Amino acid sequence: MAYQAPVDDIMHALKTAAGLDGLIESGILGVDEDTIRAVIEEAGKFGAEVLDPLSVVGDRTGSKLVDGKVVTPPGWKEAYKQFADGGWGGLQAPEEWGGQNLPNLLSTAAGEIWNSANLAFGLCPLLTFGAIDAIELQGSEQLKKTYLPKMVSGEWTGTMNLTEPHAGSDLGALVTRAERQADGTYRIFGTKIFITYGDHELTDNIIHLVLARLPDAPPGTRGISLFLVPKHLVNKDGSIGARNDVTCASLEHKLGIHASPTAVMKYGEKDGAVGYLVGEENRGLNVMFIMMNAARLAVGMQGVAVAERATQQALAYAKERRQGRSLSANSAGMSPIIEHADIRRSLMIMKALTQAARAICLVTAKETDVSRRAKDVAERAAAAHRVALLTPIAKAFATDIGCEVASIGVQIHGGMGFIEETGAAQHYRDARILPIYEGTNGIQAIDLATRKLPLEGGKVVEAYLGELKGVVDEVRASNRPEFGRMGERLGEAVAALAEASRWMGGALHKSPEAALAGATPYLRLFGLAAGGVYLAKGALAAARNGSGAAGQPIAIARFFAENLLTAASGLKDTVVGGADSTLAIAPDALSA
Ligand SMILES: Cc1cc2nc3c(=O)[nH]c(=O)nc-3n(C[C@H](O)[C@H](O)[C@H](O)COP(=O)(O)OP(=O)(O)OC[C@H]3O[C@@H](n4cnc5c(N)ncnc54)[C@H](O)[C@@H]3O)c2cc1C
């Protein structure tokens, strides 16, 4: 089933949840609404016409290592060239390096479209954007001049090399070694695993950002430095030079995203791979976090992307497939399954979760823009705190629902969902990596509870809760019959989140293990409450405009509140009262 970019839904989320009109008026974005819509429409065309047709062939063929070279599926190289030629690689990059300096909000929205059309393709620019960000913010002038123009133009791609066999979530354990050289460069020795687009033939050069440890570095995460390691060295005149001492040893065989090459990378099998320090020695993790935070939001958007794609596919199937006779049928014979109440419920869940997660991600992207572009220092600082708070929620909530929605998509197809030819199974398989990479969702929940909740002595989360409550009050005051019990349910959800946040804040001091045991349900509660509120903002706007366009915002917001937000108080109970039983059986006994 062909993909169609949900331009109206995206615009609706931008205008209502992310407050596009106010942002444009303030001048922070530097673009008008027509430009934003035009770029999203163009991204939609590119996604539908170029990337979507390659998604299935990519899944079936996969990327392969042939005679030491990574070969991507048929059509991939041409599509990548079109992507680069179209200027998509430089959407949000600074003009100084050849980019278009468009807001993160817009490139995040475009990212949804590319990833919906073809998740395995979308990963390549996703990582390159992160690498550009890290080099731009922390690289030396020389590094910027040498690498950024080619990366922004899409002529070279970027990768992110953190993971090692014994260092996954725990990066403090990494052992890749860096040795200082007399000329100011470094030599890198070690093995990195699971490196996305670690090698390929789409571009002439690949720019690896690699975490490694200097011989005199302190142990743990405080002794990690970041290095730029090109696949090919670059000559003084900018031309491609000798091959660096970095090779792709093998590619992984995976559950999904088959076309995305996931590489084992060997650095320094001979004299050592030449590397250039990014930022300061032993401060590499801080720099990498720039890249990781950008990538975490982008991966959250991948969750939205796969959910949107699975929803479109399930809707199309449900309209065609006929089984049984629905209670409301007014013609003889079997009804399309979309008429059955249970299928309608499933489709509403898919739509509502997708739109809620999209809103959370776009709000996070907007705050990134404010944190970088606002004139007022205090406004920038507040927005940076908001980004810090929302990033783990955007990443984990959106990727969790990506899997759930893709799974419902398979279910709506019945047996055909389990058969590869419908494509529903591919979305389900592709979605499954999203809660794992860029920091597992368990790690995101821990980050939210232990680092983000205490930000500024708890004032960041307090201010956010205050904002959510403001929308709830507006919904209640509007007193519209078509809102049903939306105000009541939203009020309960935000109150539950406030109570769970208070409990979490206390538990972090008194009983940290209990807090960690409740971190994942806490994040889920956070995502549900925030998502419900953003949908309600959309409903309020639709009611004001007297229009039900853009995906029936009032009905979706009401459904979310009355059917999904009912979980909020249960999740709160789990957070505040579930730790004792979670931890009751000791690890040894659990495995007995
Ligand atoms: C397809 C694919 C692409 C990838 N791309 C890249 C890439 O481009 N670059 C890169 O560097 N890496 C990449 N990765 C690696 C990925 O980021 C890691 O797999 C991920 O961070 C988890 O690390 P791990 O696999 O070692 O799992 P582990 O760290 O071993 O975790 C196993 C489980 O234990 C949990 N856990 C671990 N520590 C804790 C803790 N302290 N408290 C509670 N629970 C914990 C985790 O949540 C997880 O559920 C990729 C992986 C895959 C599969």
Catalytic residue among 112, 164, 308, 438: 438
Q: What is the DSSP letter of 223?
A: G
Q: Is this prediction's pTM over 0.85?
A: yes
Average of pLDDT values for 426-449? 98
Active site residue 438: yes
**By the 8 A CB rule, do 551 and 355 touch?**
yes
Mean model confidence pLDDT for the chain = 96
Note the pLDDT of residue 551.
52
CA of 254, closest atom in ligand 1: 1
Tell me the pLDDT tens digit for each residue of 261-279. Answer: 999 999 999 999 999 999 9
Query: What is the C-alpha separation between 122 and 551, in angstroms, rounded?
Result: 25
Tell me the pLDDT tens digit for each residue of 458-491. Answer: 999 999 999 999 999 999 999 899 999 999 999 9
Average of pLDDT values for 21-44? 96
| Tokens found for residue 393 | 């929620």
Tell me the pLDDT tens digit for each residue of 560-572. Answer: 999 999 999 999 9
Note the pLDDT of residue 328.
87
**Looking at the predicted structure, is the pLDDT value of residue 248 above 50?**
yes
Note the pLDDT of residue 550.
47
**Looking at the predicted structure, is the pLDDT value of residue 548 above 80?**
no
Average of pLDDT values for 118-137? 95
Q: Which helix (H) or strand (E) holds 118?
A: none
Tell me the best of 129, 161, 194 to mutate to test the pocket of ligand 1, counting ligand atoms within 8 Å of each CB and taking the most.
194
Residue nearest to atom 27 of ligand 1 (CA): 168
Residue labelled with tokens 């509870």:
449
**By the 8 A CB rule, do 536 and 475 touch?**
yes
Average of pLDDT values for 19-24? 96
CA angle 470, 472, 477 (to 5 degrees): 95
DSSP 314-377: HHHHHHH-B-S--TT--SSSPPBGGGSHHHHHHHHHHHHHHHHHHHHHHHHHHHHHHHHH-SSH
Residue labelled with tokens 């972090």:
508
Q: What percent of the chain has pLDDT over 70?
A: 99
CA of 198, closest atom in ligand 1: 8
**Looking at the predicted structure, is the pLDDT value of residue 511 above 90?**
yes
Query: What is the C-alpha separation between 357 and 366, in angstroms, rounded?
Result: 14
Q: What percent of the chain has pLDDT over 90?
A: 94
Note the pLDDT of residue 546.
74
Q: Which residues line ligand 1 (CB under 6 A)?
A: 160-163, 168-169, 194-196, 254, 262, 433, 436-437, 439-440, 442-443, 446
Residue nearest to atom 29 of ligand 1 (CA): 169
**Looking at the predicted structure, is the pLDDT value of residue 547 above 80?**
no
Higher pLDDT, 399 or 290: 399
**By the 8 A CB rule, do 393 and 523 touch?**
yes
Q: Tell me which amino acid residue 352 is.
A: A
The strand pairing partners of 570, in sequence order, are none
CA of 257, closest atom in ligand 1: 1
Tell me the pLDDT tens digit for each residue of 384-397. Answer: 999 999 999 999 99
Average of pLDDT values for 22-33? 94
Query: What is the C-alpha separation between 152 and 523, in angstroms, rounded?
Result: 35
Q: Which helix (H) or strand (E) holds 260?
A: none
Residue 75 backbone phi and psi in degrees, to 5? 90, -15
Average of pLDDT values for 325-341? 92
Residue 387 backbone phi and psi in degrees, to 5? -60, -45
Residue 121 backbone phi and psi in degrees, to 5? -75, -45
Tell me the best of 166, 200, 437, 583 to mutate to test the pocket of ligand 1, counting ligand atoms within 8 Å of each CB and taking the most.
437
Tell me the pLDDT tens digit for each residue of 277-324. Answer: 999 999 998 888 877 888 999 999 999 999 999 999 999 999 999 999
DSSP 152-183: HTTSEEEEEE--BTTBSS-GGG---EEEE-TT
